[in-house]
Structure 1
Amino acid sequence: MPDNYETCAGCQSLITDREYLTCFSCKRAYDLICANVSQQRFYSTLTGEHRQAWRCVCCISKMPKSDNTNTPVRGVSDGVGHRSDERAIINRGAAACNLTQHLDDSSALNDTVEMTDMQSFMLEARQWREEMKAARVQLEIFNTVVARLTERLEESDRKQDQLQKRVDILENQVAELSTNKDISLQVTIENLKAELNDRDQDLLGNDLEITNIPEEKGENLVHLVSSIADKLAVDLTEQNIVSVSRVGRSFEGDGAAQRPRPIVVRVSRRAVRDQLLHSARVRRGATTEGTGLPMPHRRFYINERLTKTNRQLFRRARDLGKSHNWRYVWTKDGKIFVRQHTGSDSPRHRIRCEQDLTKIFGA
């Protein structure tokens, strides 16, 4: 076989092995199937001379017929017709021989095709069986991998559940700690506010607040406070007065006559302040008559001076006491007290913050 692959002149496919024959006449190559030669015949019967003298079917069909007139087939008669009959008989015999040879060749070709098909089928069956074995092995590997992945996923789910439980426990603990811290912080803040308020109230221990005194321009507040003290039968000299002034927002127009600002007085000694408070409670209902103030005479009030927080709490305590029919709401030394009624069965309560109001009077 040459270096380059031959092409079969019958099926036009490449011949990749040595099993082929070359026509002696046309020099074209044919594989064993197209040459109608079995492998057994090719290797056992055909010799080198037979292979070199082999001709294809096309070349055999093109060869001229030989003259068989001298063949003694039947008796010879005179004339042309006798020769024609002999030639016809010879042709029929040759045709019969050719047909017989053709049938033998076709049978051999069919056997070769059937054998080739059987070999191809067996080869495909083997390949299919090998592929099935490989697919089975791959399927087993895949099942093993899936089983391992399933185990890992289950383990991961268990770990995640455990972590979630731990996180929930920690969150609950943090929430409890935060709540406790918030509560403790609120309590601490409220206590600090109460202590600061008590200190501020102690700084106002010598102060008094006189309300409902008409306000005039150019008024002498020291003389006015002294006149009010004389009205209450208390000896209050100018030396006992540390400071006196009106506090709060000033009003103009008609509002000035209706809402005069309170007068804040700081005395030198707490005993003088207590004496003024006691006289004001004894002479409850005293008016500005005889103090040198113009008419109409008004009723004035003397109370302890409270911080802003205590003043708001005192106002709230009076409102709640009135709505709940509590009889006594008062202040003493800057402290706010409430009592429902007289008697030992009604204790005294001190008010320091809004929570105390809620505990005593309810929400």
Structure 2
Amino acid sequence: MNKNCAACCSTIEGDDYFKCSRCSDFYHHLCLNYYASEDISNELKVCWLCPSCINKQPKGDNSNSLIRPSTPTGLADITFTATRRKPQNKQETASVSFCSECVSRSDIKEMISNEMKKAFQVCLAEFNKSLNTQLENLNEKFSEIKGSIEFMNNQFELFKSNVHANNEELKVLKKKNELLRSEVNSLN
């Protein structure tokens, strides 16, 4: 049975791999930053979960955590503290602010909305550009077809007028032929 690493998609050879106990995917030790010098127990190997399955696990209660802005690494030792107070009325419940550094849900919603609008506008502009290019190509082809149809129409009209002239000449020749026959008959 071929074992392929779920991280790098290459074939796993030897025993340098972990197998997820939930999804049964295989991973190279190096793809997981695991080095052979580190010892891992058999119990841990049996219940090991891959990064995808770990991310799918339900998280614990985070109702007490705050949304904080990301800090540069130089400021990582700074801690943000906040004290909660109980809202005094219903209107205040929706607008409780824990600290001036926090980002509210409505701010996040507005930021996401703005980013989505920008992305949509970029996609729409690219779509319009592509559509306009294709329409220009179609217009050129339709112009060529229109020119061809006009040429064919002119040729048809010329042919039609020639046929009409030939029919008139044929009628005249038929009358002359009848006159000549009648003269031949009278001469006979």
TM range (shorter): 0.3 to 0.5
Q: Which structure dedicates a bigger proportion of its chain to strand?
A: 1
The structure with the largest alpha-carbon Rg is 1
TM-score (norm 1): 0.26
